[in-house]
Structure 1
Amino acid sequence: MRREEMERARDILGVTQDWLGWVDSGWPDGDPKPPLPEGCFALVPLEEAAAPLVRLIRSFRPHVLTTYDENGGYPHPDHIKCHEISVFAYEAAADPELYPELGEPWQVSKLYYQGGFTRERLEKVGAAMVARGLENPYVDWLKDRGPRSDRGDRTTTRVECAEYFHVRDAALIAHATQIDPDGFWFAVPREVQTEAWPTEDFELVDSKVPTTLPQDDLFAGLR
């Protein structure tokens, strides 16, 4: 992933961004997979890798933290490492005995895992494609998707955001060296997605404020 592509995606989304400073681990390919490159993010010890995130949490003081689930969405080593340091930093940033040199402690109020593509979502969107006489791009993916790879029953929070799908797509396309605008991720027309599955889905993992489930807002209980 090129830095300028990430910066372009950031500008499209209208968000701020901080680089934590680690080296991309890459996607190991082969059977067996080759060893990860020395010094990459996935191999940095947990407490060392989490330190920049603890510093960022204490300076930015967010109320909500989102991250990958324990499988990284899919098992990319950097996604899994991101999950690990996020869960660790969620608690560590609030502990005055940990990293005292990194700023005043701050307790994030809620921790979510992003839901990703559940079987239910793939089936509904695929069926909507077939109903329009279009090819279902998820047939092979669903064949390989066993119960252990699905997390639909863990979904607690569905956020309506179809009106922003065009922004999401533009930010993804900004990663020109990694994303083909005519490829798999754009095989489903946006109007089909909007009708069949207009939400992004999350799992509430921990909350320091009273909440009720299900939710339609990551900031439920905080507003």
Structure 2
Amino acid sequence: MAVHAHPDDESSKGAATYAYYLDRGVEVMVVSCTGGERGSVLNESLADRSWAERDMAGLRRIEMAAAQQAVGFEHRWLGYHDSGLPGEGEPLPTNAFAAIPVETSAAPLVRLMRRFKPQVLVTYDENGGYPHPDHIRCHEISMRAYEAAGDPEAYPDAGEPWEVSKVYYDRIMNPARFEAVFETLRSESPESPLLASFTEMREWMEKRERPVVTAQVPAGGFFEVRDAALRAHASQVAPDTPFFFWPNDMQRRAWPYEDFQLAASRVSPAIAGDDVESDLFAGIEDA
């Protein structure tokens, strides 16, 4: 189970991994906490711009359905309203996801966990991956649900208790990955116009902490699936943006993984020391 703040987050942060596991017969559920209603149009060439301006919530549901079809995972909405990104000192909108108490907003996620019975949970770290209030609240309810889902005294009306074995934080927006891709592109195609875009990314990467990575899923064979899911979110992702779209064969040579960090586990470690897992389910079969 992967829990995300908004539709499109699941495609930029894990879609190749979900496709990798689906190909191996694993059931995958993506949970979107909000509908992304307060998102802005980030694709200036969007064909449905008038639709976005009239009904962003409806358009983003259509986009999410297309991304789901591209990858093949199960999908559920928690049903909360996008908090937007208030400026410093500005209050959260009334009834926004990040304004609702964690105990309340975790309840439907606990119910989903007890029904779907995931062994592995993927979510964001305590900073949300980046400090958007919905991403931070996504982390908070995910960890609350992880602890509560197996507790028979917590949310007693939400179904039979179920303990999730492991929790991972998404580390896919890893600066090391971007640098490896850039160096490979510069070595193989020194005249590529894509190289100029990396200069613009440097400032963004320099502001990000280098994450701890404890697992690298070898999902490179599914980068095309990831890209199809990303492009389904047309209001949010321009089809030619170099932030996401680089030659996939080159990406596979440079960094054929999606990265994660083990955050919590109820099973014995499957690896020792500084070794990196290649399977998010490592150790579970021995539990």
TM-score normalised by structure 1 residue count: 0.91
Work out whether 1:137 is the aligned partner of 2:176. Answer: no
Secondary structure of 1:19's aligned partner:
strand
Measure, in 2, the Cα distance between the counterparts of 1:64 and 1:46.
21
> Residue 217 of structure 1: which of 259, 265, 279 is its match?
279
Measure, in 2, the Cα distance between the counterparts of 1:57 and 1:71.
23
C-alpha RMSD over aligned residues: 1.7
Measure, in 1, the Cα distance between the counterparts of 2:75 and 2:281.
20
> Residue 50 of structure 1: which of 79, 103, 106 is its match?
106
Contact 1:137–1:187 under 8 Å retained in 2: no
Q: How many angstroms does 1:128 deviate by?
A: 1.5
Mark the CA change 1:12 to 1:118 in structure 2 (over 3 Å): closer, same or farther: same
Q: How many angstroms does 1:139 deviate by?
A: 2.4
Mark the CA change 1:33 to 1:162 in structure 2 (over 3 Å): closer, same or farther: farther
Contact 1:73–1:116 under 8 Å retained in 2: no
Identity %: 49
Q: Which position in structure 1 is the counterpart of 2:228?
A: 170
Q: Which position in structure 2 is the counterpart of 1:151?
A: 210
Measure, in 2, the Cα distance between the counterparts of 1:143 and 1:177.
25
Measure, in 2, the Cα distance between the counterparts of 1:72 and 1:129.
30
Contact 1:5–1:175 under 8 Å retained in 2: yes
Unaligned 5+ runs, structure 1: none
Q: What is the identity, as a one-letter code, of the residue corresponding to 1:203?
A: Q
Q: What is the identity, as a one-letter code, of the residue corresponding to 1:137?
A: S
Q: Which position in structure 1 is the counterpart of 2:49?
A: none
Measure, in 1, the Cα distance between the counterparts of 2:76 and 2:257.
27
Work out whether 1:119 is the aligned partner of 2:175. Answer: yes
Count of paired positions = 219
Contact 2:174–2:259 under 8 Å retained in 1: no
Q: Which deviates more from structure 2 when the two are superposed, residues 180-189 or residues 5-14? A: 180-189
Secondary structure of 1:17's aligned partner:
strand
Secondary structure of 1:138's aligned partner:
helix
Measure, in 1, the Cα distance between the counterparts of 2:118 and 2:102.
21
Q: What is the identity, as a one-letter code, of the residue corresponding to 1:40?
A: A
Q: Which deviates more from structure 2 when the two are superposed, residues 84-93 or residues 186-195? A: 186-195
Mark the CA change 1:171 to 1:33 in structure 2 (over 3 Å): closer, same or farther: farther
